[in-house]
Homo-oligomer: A and B are copies of this chain.
Amino acid sequence: MSQSHPFDAAIALQAQAGGSFLGQTSPAYANMIGPYGGITAAQCLQGVLQHPDRLGDPVALTINFAAALADGPFEVRPRAARTNRSTQHWIVEMLQDGQVVATATVFTAVRRATWGGHEARMPQVPTAEDTRRTARHGVEWLNRYDMRFLEGHIPSRWEGQEREDSLTRLWVRDEPPRPLDFASLTALADVFFPRLWLRRARLTAIGTVTMSVYYHADATRLAAVGSRHVLVQAQGQGFGGGYFDHGGQLWDASGTLVATTHQVVYYKE
């Protein structure tokens, strides 16, 4: 992977004594306040992936966003809380100025061939090639993705028309193209604009508080996806008391489920 790709530059970590890592927030992935959450998740995962004690590949990750990151350096502290014969449980803390800004748990495993049969099936949709790239403007990280919306686009008019459902589907890949791997897939899982905006067509202030990613593809399968678009969808579940959640799925162009995801988002009103 070339260090010249903005994603690789953003997740580059320098190993420190004691098993921690130093990184830098990336202006290329800047969000409204602090960085895009997906890149923070990828950086936390990267700390585990680069750790010399790591066993196996990611099966599940949960990241909790504890505070908006400030522009500048951060420390990632991964710790193997438990190592079994073929599985490992990691606790990760990300810090700035000695304060925790994110926590995460990562479950890694040496996967074995077993019976399989994904149940979450890709919907019938036009191919990425047959779908026009959607222009998106605003925060910088949007420029790091080629997004091709099929359904549930961000409202074009913010006039408060409420909708009953918040299903969004789009094709997406890194921009410029980059071969898919665990880190970039993790970042992709946060690509959804807030489901609340779709439900309400109001620009309410929001912030993701927790996101989980479940990896259904191994490294070989991800490598086979290459830099092609991935179909991603998400739909809200519960909305109330200042928080909503959504569940989501990510498929490669052949229709194979590569990941599922769930997140909880704070909102102000």
Complex interface: chain B residues within 8 A of A239 (CB): 115-119
A81 interface residue per 8 A CB criterion = yes
Q: Is A186 an interface residue (CB 8 A)?
A: no
- Given A81-B100, A119-B199, A216 and B242 touching (CB < 8 A)? no
Which residues does chain B contribute within 8 Å of A235, judged by CB atoms? 119
Task: Kindly provide the distance from the CB of A8 to the nearest chain B CB, expressed in whole angstroms.
Answer: 26
Q: Which of A85-105 contact B (CB under 8 A)?
A: 87, 89, 91, 93, 99-101, 103-105
* A81 in contact with B93 (CB, 8 Å): yes
Summarize A's interface: helix, strand, loop or mixed. Answer: strand
- The answer to whether A237 touches B119, judged by C-beta atoms less than 8 angstroms apart, is yes
Provide the bound-state CA to CA distance between A235 and B260, in Å.
13
| A67 cross-chain contacts in B, Cβ below 8 A | 82, 84
- Do residues B216 and A240 form an inter-chain contact, with CB atoms below 8 A? yes
B111 touches A242 (CB 8 A): yes
Q: Is the CB of B116 within 8 A of A241?
A: yes
Complex alpha-carbon distance, A199 and B114, angstroms: 14
Please, what's the 1-or-0 string for A115-144, where 1 marks a CB less than 8 Å from any CB in chain B? 111111000000000000000000000000
A15 within 8 Å of B (CB atoms): no
For A116, the chain B residues whose CB sits under 8 A away are 239-241
> How many angstroms between the C-alpha atoms of A236 and B120 in the bound complex?
7
Find the residue from A82, A87, A99, A120 having the highest chain B CB count within 10 A. Answer: A82
Do A107 and B241 touch across chains, with their CB atoms under 8 A apart? no
Pick the residue among B114, B241, B242, B243 that contacts A241 (CB under 8 A): B114
